[in-house]
Amino acid sequence: MPETITCHNCGQEIYPAYSVCPHCKGLTHKGDKRTQQNKRVNPTPKLVECPSCKGALSERATSCPNCSRATCEICKQNIPSSSETCPACGDPRPFEKITTDNQVTTDGRAEDKSKKILICSYCGTESESLGREFEEGTPCPKCRKLLEEEPQPGQFAQKNDFSKAPTYASKYYFIQHWRGEHSLARSFWINAIAINIIFQLFAAFYLDKIITNVPYNEWYIVLLFSFLSLTVIIWQIVGLWRSANNHIRKTNQRFGAVIANGVMILGVMVFAHQLLQVLPAYNRITKDILGDRDQVSSSSLLDNNKEVEITQDISGDGDHVSSLKMLDNNKEVEVAQDIPGDGDHVSSLKMLANNKEVEITGGIKSGLTEELRKIFNKYPTITVVHLNSYGGRVGEARLLKEFIEEKELTTSTNRGCLSACTIAYMGGSSRLVYGEKKLGFHQYTSATTAADFNKQSIDASFKEDMQFFEKKGATEEFINKVTDTSPPDLWFPENDILFSNNIITGIARDTDFVIFQEKGSDFYDNIDTMLNDIPVFPVIKQYYPEVYNRIIFKLGLATDSGINDEIKYEEITSFITSNIEPISLSQLPYASDEALIEYIDIVLEIGEKLKIIDPALCYDFYMNGMTSASIQVYLSDSDKSRFFEVLS
């Protein structure tokens, strides 16, 4: 280390090359510390009063040793010495340049040499102590602040002159972009474009698997990824905007910055549009997640230890209940499950009295597989799963399929296995049906009716499941037919087609399973009872089972989501009519004269009523029949009942 001398004003150790002390700005002695220490060669500086604390300080001092306040070189206002900028004018504190004529000894000869020393006024590091030369604008190797040459008297920096004001670089890449410290090219091509491509690739190859396969309690992963995406987008937008503005200030070139800002604004509009599309899906996911708070459970032992009932409120509001019942002296188990956010209806698991068969009815809800696993662990004698479901969540159906494959169970349906239910059905080691046209297939649809939650993910999931069907023996023609059937329509292939494509492996008989001898779930029984009260439906059920199953599917979805609102009820009525009216009209040439006259009378009567309300309704009725939802609103229940009775 070079030898030092002691400043006679403040007592700090300084290098002998200094003619002005960097600490107190007082004049120092130039000479050897060992021989001329504390020798005063300059007059004592004049003392002045500190404007802040009224204490005495040297007139050459830029900061008061008592209150640590300094005087801004630009506006002469008092500022704390620790401040990076003057609060009055915003000018950064100047870094010091000290140029001295020093007496330096080199090879025994004394000569004058002008030396330039840069001192960081933030940490006190000087370039000479490091043995390196630095230029103005380079970062200090200790505190990373930019070294800046002190303005000479009369050459002060202009207020708000950003081209001359130093910027202080952060050590963290994330903060550097947020402040706009990166170049415009890096901010645009790397921080915006490249990172966005990475997120899109991740969503394309991995997020679809998460969306369609996560269990109930892992929706958090989807929300976490969404929150991360939103954070990154905001970070990209703010950083790119600031980088573009800094680019204009430094180069006075606006073209590239304007293009970057334009692309950014376009990206914001696209993002906002996508966000509005998926908000309904996120709302449904949030309801599912928030539904597992405040768990309350209760249990009771009934009928002399022969029946036990366990109920659990998993919604936090007491409205949705899961229940597990063991009945008939441990010979029958029934699980009813109502998932918050999935509607008012329950999906049920019922183990039959022989302890070998279990029936699943209603919708395929999140958590259904886990409930089945619990029952199987208690009753490992189960060998058959009866799937009488109108469908539900694809992800849960996949989990159910994997469980059925794992346990090598037989799958069967006697009331109908539709939509996502067919995925679980295909997991059976043996796959049986009882009756014709019990399996209904179609393309996948979104978790929300407002917009596709992730169409790319849905398409990828459907393609993956169709590959599984193909491995089981389904032909390309069969898969294409399923692909071409879009929701809410369903395709019910004949048993011969199902056999030839190895979708089913056998036809169940009345004596094969206990479920055919005892009462099953109330779900389809309730719908059957409701439809049997309408004269036309028993006929449809007997002669057109695929149409009847399609109506069951629609009613199941309606029951699942609730049909309290009148508009949805009318839409369902219109859907049912659109399926049965073409069949009835096709049979008119074979109907009796009395039936034809009765049909014409009811049509004319309804037409006259609609004409009085609005002639446009009358025209709509004659062109489209009862399939128009708008017509349903203006017809009484007696008119609808008579119309369906005539159609039968």
74 against 316, higher pLDDT:
74
Average pLDDT score over residue span 152-165 = 39
For domain 296-510, give the CATH number: 3.90.226.10
Euclidean distance between CA atoms 576 and 547, whole angstroms: 9
Neighbouring-strand partners of residue 49: 56
Q: How many CB atoms lie within 10 A of CB 607?
A: 14
pLDDT tens per residue across span 182-193: 999 999 999 999
Q: What is the pLDDT of residue 282?
A: 65
Euclidean distance between CA atoms 436 and 266, whole angstroms: 54
Helix or strand or coil: residue 321? strand
Neighbouring-strand partners of residue 389: 362
Q: What is the pLDDT of residue 350?
A: 82
498 against 139, higher pLDDT:
498
Q: Which of 142-156, 275-289, 458-472, 510-524 has the lowest mean pLDDT?
A: 142-156
Helix or strand or coil: residue 289? helix
In the predicted structure, residue 494 carries a pLDDT above the cut 70: yes
CA count, 13 A, side-chain hemisphere, 197: 6
Read off the pLDDT band of 468 (50, 70, 90).
Answer: very high
Tokens coding 303: 């009928």
Euclidean distance between CA atoms 400 and 509, whole angstroms: 25
Read off the pLDDT band of 292 (50, 70, 90).
Answer: very low
Quote the distance between the C-alpha of residue 30 and its chain's center: 70
Q: What is the pLDDT of residue 281?
A: 62
First to last CA, the chain: 109
Quote the distance between the C-alpha of residue 574 and its chain's center: 35
Q: What is the 3-state secondary structure (H, E, C) of 339-398?
A: CCCCCCCCEEEEECCCCCEEEEEEEECCCHHHHHHHHHHHCCCCCEEEEEEEEECHHHHH
Read off the pLDDT band of 401 (50, 70, 90).
Answer: very high
Phi then psi for residue 236, to 5 deg, are -65, -45
**Rounded mean pLDDT of the chain?**
69
567 against 632, higher pLDDT:
632
**Strand 357-364 versus strand 384-392 pairing type:** parallel
Phi then psi for residue 598, to 5 deg, are -65, -40
Please enumerate in sequence order all residues whose Cβ is within 8 A of that of 101, keeping only pairs 6 or more positions apart, or say none.
19, 112, 113, 114
CA count, 13 A, side-chain hemisphere, 102: 20
In the predicted structure, residue 476 carries a pLDDT above the cut 90: yes
The pTM of the full predicted model, rounded to 2 decimals, is 0.46
Read off the pLDDT band of 172 (50, 70, 90).
Answer: confident
pLDDT tens per residue across span 352-370: 877 889 999 888 887 889 8
Q: What percent of the chain has pLDDT over 90?
A: 14
Q: What is the pLDDT of residue 320?
A: 36
Q: What is the pLDDT of residue 155?
A: 38
Phi then psi for residue 163, to 5 deg, are -70, -25
Please enumerate in sequence order all residues whose Cβ is within 8 A of that of 598, keeping only pairs 6 or more positions apart, or say none.
646
In single-letter form, the type of residue at position 217 comes to N
In the predicted structure, residue 166 carries a pLDDT above the cut 60: no
pLDDT tens per residue across span 238-285: 999 999 988 888 888 888 888 988 888 888 888 887 777 666 666 666
Q: Which of 39-48, 169-178, 359-368, 578-587 has the lowest mean pLDDT?
A: 39-48
Name residue, tokens 């069949």: 583
In the predicted structure, residue 441 carries a pLDDT above the cut 90: yes
Average pLDDT score over residue span 559-567 = 46
Average pLDDT score over residue span 22-45 = 50
Q: What percent of the chain has pLDDT over 70?
A: 49
Greatest C-alpha distance within the chain: 137
Average pLDDT score over residue span 24-47 = 49
Average pLDDT score over residue span 600-606 = 82
Per-residue DSSP letter, 453? S
Euclidean distance between CA atoms 585 and 94, whole angstroms: 93
- The ranges assigned to domains in the chain are 176-290, 296-510, 522-647
In the predicted structure, residue 161 carries a pLDDT above the cut 50: no
In the predicted structure, residue 154 carries a pLDDT above the cut 70: no
Q: Which of 54-68, 91-105, 440-454 has the lowest mean pLDDT?
A: 91-105
